[in-house]
Chains A and B, each alone.
Chain A
């Protein structure tokens, strides 16, 4: 039925997931790491941010499962069809690469208008000259092809929208109760003896008792804030879900594409840039930083020289220069990229690498400094007294003690990279213009600012999506840093 396609960035995203899974297993087995993560989850803001982030991640992942749909027999040109065309072995696949998200959002993609329309509008945003059946020409706001097309009477618009939102809210409330209850049942901790009466024979705390505790904000992990966030998310998503079938909730852009669709598709780009960039630079930063700090001497001099040189080139210029060079390479070798999706994907990957090259220097310097400190630690000296080899010492004694810095760097870099993508795309050295991204959205929307009346919705959508993505990433990163940076835990901070 379909042919799975794994683009380069897909492969790396999967690799990243594998790494995360491995890390998860490690954390489960190691008590100190578990304790640190518990500290992260005790932060209500981090817990809420993680939920929001995971929704974004889910969308991004759905957009990462790529395939080429089989062409149905009807769409295969008859002239070319051989007798066995219907058989599976000769199935033909479309040259267009689609993702699972595309399939889910197909109704949105197929219902494009001619040009701009405001959110939830039933009519176009600008007057057009329309020929009436009697041959007269008038300038008026034409009805949209899809937006609110089901309304028989335009007066019903407000009522219809309200009803849909209301239905969505009711559904959200029901769903919230169900999910909350499931969460409470699943997360009930072991009841430990003592003061509280046990209502059940089981060793677990009763659900009622636990939910009361959660509600009062007394559970160890602040599940209350998670549930509140969940409530808000459901109250946002479900009404929109109710409106989507008949309206353009966030309006349409210049060529009539649904802005909600564009925003959702942009998420993957932002996430890929934010995560893969750090992933591809990590090996360099780790290896070089550790080598410089551990071996010192000329190795240190050389590595320091390398990263100081790279760092002294202003970031944007190095990126611009590299992307310019890359553009030349891509454009002079069209034979490398059979499809536009592949070309855009290659450019995205290359951008990750280029951003990675410019951003590894900071982490490398941090790691070098920490290694310099660690190598003088007594346990490293003890390992040396056992004659343990250098590389083994680095792997067993230094690397594990650097991982918290790496983790902090990864989460802290994420939001910066998402913001950088927008700027770079604006400058013209970002992702491929054919690729959906917040940068390209802003860039296009910027030109619409001059219109009278102003087209505000694409810009606002990009703003809102980016803001919540970056804000939750920032909040989460802060919590991770606080939990993993031992310096902050000395001397107990005030609450």
Chain B
């Protein structure tokens, strides 16, 4: 691909980074344990290209990035190798010369824009600082330059923003400022460490296309560190797969995605949920979606609202409210899966918890099997609780670290199961559950921290299953997991659904996952459902402009990103949502009527409704 005439701007040779640990071996002998997190990697980065290093958590990709910049945490150090920037070995430079390189010739942006900016300095100060450090510009000239870069990265109202503090900006804007800071001195190499992982998918699309544009304009080389193969396929020219500290495969993107060579790469690609995938065999029973044969709803939610009051003033009167959920209606049949899709802050998790009666501020109607759960109180509600359960996103926060797995699983049975369950019966049921979710039987005697993320999620699933629920709310059950583990957990959920006939309310922001597991999908925006219907209908023929934009923003392996379809702006505050249709300020097809009233749901096809005035 690269002719010999083009010289790489950055060359990494045999880089080895270790983390010192005080861990000792089991026989008590203290080893000078230096865990090789980066274990001898080589790669080159050419001018104007994007090279992506992709890998699952803990593979050493972030440490690689920090090693290049020599910004490693105290416990880690580079023990071997060379990092040649235009032929000069950065690892051999004295620290003072390295400072000339950082921010000048090689810049970096980080994963968490929220914490990566200094909270007490204005954006102007932080931008001017790097400009004055590396260029001859001073004072007003530096400020002019700062303003120029801010405008280049698409920060609206840049003049005013210079005087603002990071907390006054949304996540997407903060990341834009980070990019501006990195690019203010026109570096040759930009290291981007998971630059969009903390951002929503529409914002991710904005930021990535911004990076791509700036790279084109400046001919800069970008080292993109990411866990997301779809992002790689869309933005990188070459890719390196990292596994356990080693680069197991380096290839051009096209060849890589067409025919990955290394078994690990193949495994990684296979685990990726494909948006265009054919529905798996397990979906067969529910393929005939005739309105006539639809069974009665197990769950029927009507006009669900969750308004958190904001109190202010001397007497703490309610002056406003956060409309987290603002009139949501949906229905779910027994044994089916309904996916609730939306960006963070749209209220989807709140809907799930409100249905389970875990939120006091909720109002509306939640009919479960013909009974309005909202009306139930105390003991009556408690008795019904075995029918609906929940699985959470973070497998680390969802299991009590002080309890054994068997106690965690038994808790629900003791609280809701038949009275007077004997120890032996409990133990037997716990064993059964563990087997059901594919965990070894002796797992019960251990503590949650001894398990990996995926295994913990299995425990969480077993906990929910313990009381034989008919509905499980799955709140982003796989978004904290690596992609290969995610595939296993999704398969487990589908298998369990097939075996037990449990209905799933699947809350997710990941369209690919939703397409794989759900029968129907509801798209939420700012506390309301904008479109719902069968998966195939909503995802293939989206009617609502927001749904379309959302789908367009999702990076996929199969189709290129259309920059024109990008959604501008960010999610407004749920405290005072825009009048009329909440989406109209960002809507590319907004009309004057959109500003006046929230559109009523309109049925466009069997079971497919959309809340939009646009004819179509």
Contacts and interface: CB of A to CB of B under 8 A. Distances in A.
A433 B446 CA distance: 54
Contact of B358 (A42, A190, A384): A384
Interface string A470-495: 00000000000000000000011111
A482 to B, nearest CB: 12
A396 interface: yes
A189 B30 CA distance: 13
A494 B358 contact: no
A485 to B, nearest CB: 14
A495 B447 contact: no
Interface stretch (B16-24, B94-102, B171-179, B267-275): B16-24
Interface in B391-433: 392-394, 397-403, 408, 411-412, 415-416
A189 B397 contact: no
A249 B347 CA distance: 75
Nearest to B20: A495
Given A189-B28, A396-B403, A387 B398 contact: no
Contacts of A387: 381-383, 385, 415-416
Interface string A356-395: 0000000000000000000001110111111110000000
Contacts of B415: 383, 386-388
Contacts of A386: 385-386, 389, 411-412, 415-416, 467
Contacts of A495: 20, 22, 75
A149 interface: no
A31 B446 CA distance: 8
B392 A378 contact: yes
A382 B392 contact: yes
Contact of B24 (A190, A194, A220, A381): A220
A213 interface: yes
B27 interface: yes
B402 A401 contact: yes
Contact of B463 (A196, A210, A382, A491): A382
A144 to B, nearest CB: 53
Interface string B65-81: 00000000111000000
Given A386-B412, A494-B75, A219 B28 contact: yes
A213 B390 contact: no
B73 A492 contact: yes
Interface in A42-61: 42
A191 B399 contact: no
Contact of A213 (B29, B447, B449): B29
A96 B102 CA distance: 78
B30 A379 contact: no
A218 B356 CA distance: 54
A453 interface: no
Nearest to A210: B28
B112 to A, nearest CB: 13
A385 B390 contact: yes
Interface in A391-427: 396-397, 400-401
A98 B463 CA distance: 58
A381 B390 contact: yes
B401 A220 contact: no
Interface in A29-47: 30-32, 42
A492 B18 CA distance: 13
B382 A205 contact: no
Nearest to B19: A492
A197 interface: no
B381 A385 contact: no
Contacts of B393: 378
B353 interface: yes
Contact of B29 (A218, A382, A491): A218
A191 B26 CA distance: 9
A305 to B, nearest CB: 14
Given A32-B402, A387-B385, A387-B415, A189 B390 contact: no
B473 to A, nearest CB: 9
A407 to B, nearest CB: 13
Contacts of A397: 400
Interface in A255-293: none
A192 interface: yes
B339 to A, nearest CB: 20
A42 B392 contact: no
Contact of A385 (B22, B389, B449): B389
Contacts of A32: 401-402, 447, 449
B401 A401 contact: yes
Contacts of A388: 411, 415
Contacts of A379: 397-400, 408
Contacts of B19: 492
Contacts of B27: 189-192, 194, 196, 205
Interface string B196-213: 000000000000000000
A196 B403 CA distance: 38
Interface in B45-59: none
A382 B24 CA distance: 37
A382 B391 CA distance: 8
A306 B119 CA distance: 34
A213 B31 CA distance: 12
A401 B447 contact: no
A97 B442 CA distance: 56
Contacts of B394: 378
A379 B460 CA distance: 9
With most chain B CB atoms within 10 A of its CB, the pick from A31, A213, A386, A400 is A386
Contact of A493 (B74, B356, B400, B416): B74
A406 B467 CA distance: 34
A30 B73 CA distance: 32
Interface in B174-224: none
A494 B450 CA distance: 25
Contact of B398 (A210, A378, A401): A378
A385 B358 contact: yes
Interface string B151-169: 0000000000000000000
Given A32-B449, A385-B390, A491 B73 contact: yes
Nearest to A404: B402
B71 to A, nearest CB: 13
A249 B255 CA distance: 87
Given A387-B415, A494-B75, A220 B28 contact: yes
Contacts of B26: 192
A378 B412 contact: no
B385 A381 contact: no
B392 A385 contact: no
Contacts of A396: 400, 403, 411
A381 B392 contact: yes
Given A377-B397, A379-B398, A397-B400, A385 B385 contact: yes
A119 B412 CA distance: 69
A374 to B, nearest CB: 10
Contacts of A385: 356, 358, 385, 388-390
Interface string B236-271: 000000000000000000000000000000000000
B548 to A, nearest CB: 33
Interface in B346-370: 353, 356, 358
Contact of B402 (A30, A191, A194): A30
A210 B399 CA distance: 40
Interface string A332-344: 0000000000000
B400 A381 contact: no
A387 B356 CA distance: 11
A41 to B, nearest CB: 12
19 contacts: A30-B402, A32-B401, A32-B449, A190-B27, A192-B25, A192-B27, A205-B28, A213-B28, A213-B29, A377-B397, A378-B398, A382-B392, A382-B398, A385-B358, A385-B389, A396-B403, A397-B400, A492-B73, A495-B75
Given A379-B408, A385-B389, 10 more contacts: A30-B447, A196-B27, A218-B30, A220-B28, A379-B397, A381-B392, A387-B416, A401-B401, A494-B75, A495-B75
Q: Nearest 4 A-B pairs (CB), nearest first? A: A494-B74, A387-B382, A378-B398, A400-B402
